[in-house]
Amino acid sequence: MTKIAAIIGGGVIGGGWAARFALNGWEVQVFDPDPQAERKIAEVLANARRSMPGLTDVALPAEGGLRFCTSIAQAVEGAVWIQESVPERLEVKHSTLAEIQAACDAEAVIGSSTSGFKPSELRAGSTRPDQIMVAHPFNPVYLLPLVELVPAEGQDGALVDRAKELLTGLGMYPLHLRKEIDAHVADRLLEAVWRESLWLVKDGIATTEEIDDAIRYGFGIRWAQMGLFETYRVAGGEAGMKHFMSQFGPALKWPWTKLMDVPEFDETLVDLIAGQSDAQSGAYGIRDLERIRDNNLVAMMRALKQQDWGAGRLMKQHEAALRAGTVLEARAADIDDPSQPVPTVHRAVPLDWTDYNGHMTEAKYLQAFADATDRFMELIGCDAAYIASGGSFFTAETHIRHVDEVHAGAVIDIRTRVLLGGGKKMHLWHEMYEGDRLLATGEHFLLHVSLETRKPSDPSPKIAAALTRFAQAHAALPMPEGVGRFVGAPR
Does residue 68 sit in the same domain as residue 106? yes
Does residue 82 sit in the same domain as residue 196? no
CATH number of 367's domain: 3.10.129.10
Q: Is 480 among the domain residues?
A: no
- 240 annotated to a ligand binding site: no
Q: Is 374 helix (H, G, I), strand (E, B) or coil?
A: helix
- 12 annotated to a ligand binding site: yes
427 DSSP β-pair partners: 420, 445
**Contact of 275 with 211, CB cutoff 8 Å:** no
d(CA 24, CA 89): 30
Q: Is 483 among the domain residues?
A: no
Does residue 340 sit in the same domain as residue 463? yes
For residue 227, what is the DSSP state?
T
* Total domains present in the chain: 3
Does residue 359 sit in the same domain as residue 265? no
Backbone angles phi, psi at 307, to 5 degrees: -95, 0
Does residue 229 sit in the same domain as residue 156? no
Domain that holds residue 232: 186-283
- 78 annotated to a ligand binding site: no
pLDDT per residue as tens, the chain (491 positions): 789 999 999 999 999 999 999 999 999 999 999 999 999 999 999 999 999 999 999 999 999 999 999 999 999 999 999 999 999 999 999 999 999 999 999 999 999 999 999 999 999 999 999 999 999 999 999 999 999 999 988 788 899 999 999 999 999 999 999 999 999 999 999 999 999 999 999 999 999 999 999 998 888 988 888 888 888 888 888 887 777 777 777 766 777 777 778 788 789 988 898 899 889 888 888 888 898 889 889 999 999 998 998 899 999 999 999 988 787 777 777 787 889 999 999 999 998 898 889 899 999 999 999 999 999 999 999 999 999 999 999 999 999 999 999 999 899 999 999 999 989 999 999 999 999 999 999 999 999 999 999 999 999 999 999 999 999 999 999 999 999 988 877 76
pTM comes to: 0.86
Q: Is 430 helix (H, G, I), strand (E, B) or coil?
A: strand
Does residue 93 sit in the same domain as residue 165? yes
Q: Is 231 among the domain residues?
A: yes
Does residue 131 sit in the same domain as residue 260? no
Does residue 98 sit in the same domain as residue 166? yes
73, 79, 84, 85 alpha-carbon torsion, rounded to 10°: -100
Does residue 111 sit in the same domain as residue 251? no
Does residue 151 sit in the same domain as residue 192? no
Does residue 157 sit in the same domain as residue 207? no
- 358 annotated to a ligand binding site: no
- 11 annotated to a ligand binding site: yes
- 421 annotated to a ligand binding site: no
State the pLDDT at residue 79: 98
5 DSSP β-pair partners: 28, 81
Q: Is 181 among the domain residues?
A: no
Does residue 232 sit in the same domain as residue 337? no
CATH number of 44's domain: 3.40.50.720
Q: Is 156 among the domain residues?
A: yes
Q: Is 26 helix (H, G, I), strand (E, B) or coil?
A: coil
